A and B are shown apart, each in its own frame.
Chain A
């Protein structure tokens, strides 16, 4: 995937998330398509592209009002997804690896809020539904990466 196409897809996912999905909460939690997209790019394209996608997505989220830690967290998500889960090849395999990576992200978020004084159960009450909704948006992330209908390029060795 070329760099320009990567940034365009990330921006499209961000716009979809901020302008559409945020207005339709499920059980008080809003679906997110950017984290599963970052995971998918990391798994398919390698940790470099994953970290790049996450960093760019994090910048967009920060400009839209999210905490500045989104930049570091999404970049870390993309990079580590590519490092740890690079062997996933089937659709279901990628879905499972994304679920695992997103679970790791939610654990970090809960830990961060616990350090700020919140209780673990309070964090889990938000992290749990957020994880499930993000995982449910994985097919949407796959659709975004396949927009032009081009087959996925072989990932270069890293």
Chain B
């Protein structure tokens, strides 16, 4: 045993293991805040990450152009925007809103509404790990970003939440990361559940609306949005669409498997909800 310990490579591995344990313990203690070493690393690497993300973005665009899909992508984008607008209009329900307003005025109730403030940010890096779903943005506390804030794409679909933040960068946990968790609600059935990522769903690019009972009337194709009872984050942000229903291992509850509305594989520019006002 003593002879083994004298080898240099054993000492290196022992040091590496000790540092890993210390770093893991620090990460547990400093949840939501920046670990000092990683903060320095992110700050130093951000300009290079931004440059290379622009380059790879351009390369990807160039490749797509050569394949002749550029025009198709633009048309698709336009159609996606139109669909998003139509869905927003449907959700808002102009007629229902007017009727609601009339009834509220009759009952002398206050008006409801929501106002969101966004900060635009570019995705400059992804976590160098296939076992997590995280990205790094090029904006941080200097631009008003804080841990726990929601991040959406250009259509307003939820992308994830800010996990940790530095002065000029922020790490975002994507929807399908095993550590992701939020409350969600079906738009049609009104069912409440827990939006969760998992390792199993990470490989499939999906997430789950968990803790549903057999009696909950969730249907396939139903849209799911965020729900916040105490205003910790904004409600009504589109999360995804129910693709299937699965029984949980215990058999007492079931989960609705969702396909995210945002395309998390090709993120380039996102928007952080830095402030919101809503009244119900």
Residues of chain A having any CB pair with chain B under 8 Å:
14, 17-20, 22-25, 28-30, 32, 46-48, 50-52, 54-55, 58, 61-72, 74-76, 78-79, 82-83, 109, 113, 118-119, 121-123, 125-126, 130, 158
B240 at interface, CB cutoff 8 A: no
Pair B199/A48 contact, Cβ less than 8 Å: no
Pair A22/B199 contact, Cβ less than 8 Å: no
Roughly how many angstroms separate A122 CA and B23 CA in the complex, as a whole number? 26
Q: List A contacts of B205 (CB < 8 A).
A: 28
Complex: chain A residue closest to B37, CB-CB: A63
A selection of 26 A-B contacts at a CB cut-off of 8 Å is: A22-B128, A23-B57, A28-B205, A48-B12, A51-B8, A52-B9, A54-B16, A55-B15, A58-B16, A61-B129, A62-B37, A63-B37, A65-B42, A65-B134, A66-B129, A67-B129, A68-B19, A71-B17, A75-B13, A76-B13, A118-B199, A118-B200, A121-B200, A122-B200, A126-B131, A126-B203
Enumerate B12-44 residues with CB–CB distance to A below 8 Å. 12-13, 15-17, 19-24, 27, 37-38, 40-42
A65 to chain B: closest CB distance in Å?
Answer: 5
B53 at interface, CB cutoff 8 A: yes
B110 at interface, CB cutoff 8 A: no
Pair A119/B134 contact, Cβ less than 8 Å: no
Pair A75/B125 contact, Cβ less than 8 Å: no
Complex: chain B residue closest to A112, CB-CB: B131
A63 touches which one: B41, B202, B265 (CB < 8 A)?
A: B41
Roughly how many angstroms separate A48 CA and B128 CA in the complex, as a whole number? 25
Pick from B12, B132, B200, B265 the residue with the most CB of A within 10 Å. B12
Roughly how many angstroms separate A78 CA and B203 CA in the complex, as a whole number? 27
New A-B pairs, 15, CB < 8 Å, besides A30-B126, A66-B127: A18-B125, A23-B60, A28-B203, A32-B128, A50-B9, A51-B13, A64-B128, A65-B38, A65-B129, A65-B136, A65-B171, A68-B20, A71-B16, A122-B202, A123-B199
Pair B199/A113 contact, Cβ less than 8 Å: yes
B230 at interface, CB cutoff 8 A: no
Pair A47/B203 contact, Cβ less than 8 Å: no
Pair B45/A23 contact, Cβ less than 8 Å: no
Pick from A18, A50, A64, A76 the residue with the most CB of B within 10 Å. A64
A143 to chain B: closest CB distance in Å?
Answer: 20
Pair A63/B38 contact, Cβ less than 8 Å: yes
Pair B12/A66 contact, Cβ less than 8 Å: no
Closest CB pairs A-B (n = 3):
A63-B41, A68-B23, A122-B200
B137 to chain A: closest CB distance in Å?
Answer: 12
B3 at interface, CB cutoff 8 A: no
B48 at interface, CB cutoff 8 A: yes
B198 at interface, CB cutoff 8 A: yes
B127-171 interface bits toward A, Cβ cutoff 8 Å, 1 = contact, 0 = none:
111111010100000000000000000000000000000000001
Pair B53/A23 contact, Cβ less than 8 Å: yes
B117 at interface, CB cutoff 8 A: no
Roughly how many angstroms separate A17 CA and B198 CA in the complex, as a whole number? 25
Say yes or no: A118-B198 contact (C-beta < 8 A), given A18-B125, A19-B48, A58-B16. yes
Q: List B contacts of A125 (CB < 8 A).
A: 200, 203-204
Roughly how many angstroms separate A25 CA and B128 CA in the complex, as a whole number? 12
Q: List B contacts of A65 (CB < 8 A).
A: 38, 42, 125, 127-129, 134, 136, 171
Pair B49/A19 contact, Cβ less than 8 Å: yes
B195-234 interface bits toward A, Cβ cutoff 8 Å, 1 = contact, 0 = none:
0001110111100000000000000000000000000000
Complex: chain B residue closest to A133, CB-CB: B130
Roughly how many angstroms separate A17 CA and B134 CA in the complex, as a whole number? 16
